[in-house]
Structure 1
Amino acid sequence: MAGDTYPCYSEKKDNSGHWYWIYYASNGEAIARSSESYTTTSKK
């Protein structure tokens, strides 16, 4: 995730086309992932 400022989160699509998020700590390490996937993204 070049150019990102940490901490931050990223939204991605899974294989079924649903969205999930990953939260990254200040050192860039992924520390949390959503336990559910969603049909829409929060980004506009």
Structure 2
Amino acid sequence: MPRSQINGNFIDKTFSIVANILLRIIPTTSGEKDAFTYYRDGAI
């Protein structure tokens, strides 16, 4: 699910926002960022 189409309850939205912020802040490689994005999208 693309980030722009995040639907759901308050907890889902909050998790998505926090995950996006952490993904930008934590120094990781592009492969790790892609893996986390796939995991996050699958968890939603």
TM-score range, shorter chain: under 0.3
Higher RCO by CA contacts (8 Å cutoff, separation 6 or greater): 2
**Higher strand fraction: Structure 1 or Structure 2?**
1
With the length of structure 2 as denominator, give the TM-score of the two structures: 0.22
Return the index of the structure with the highest Cα Rg: 1
With the length of structure 1 as denominator, give the TM-score of the two structures: 0.22
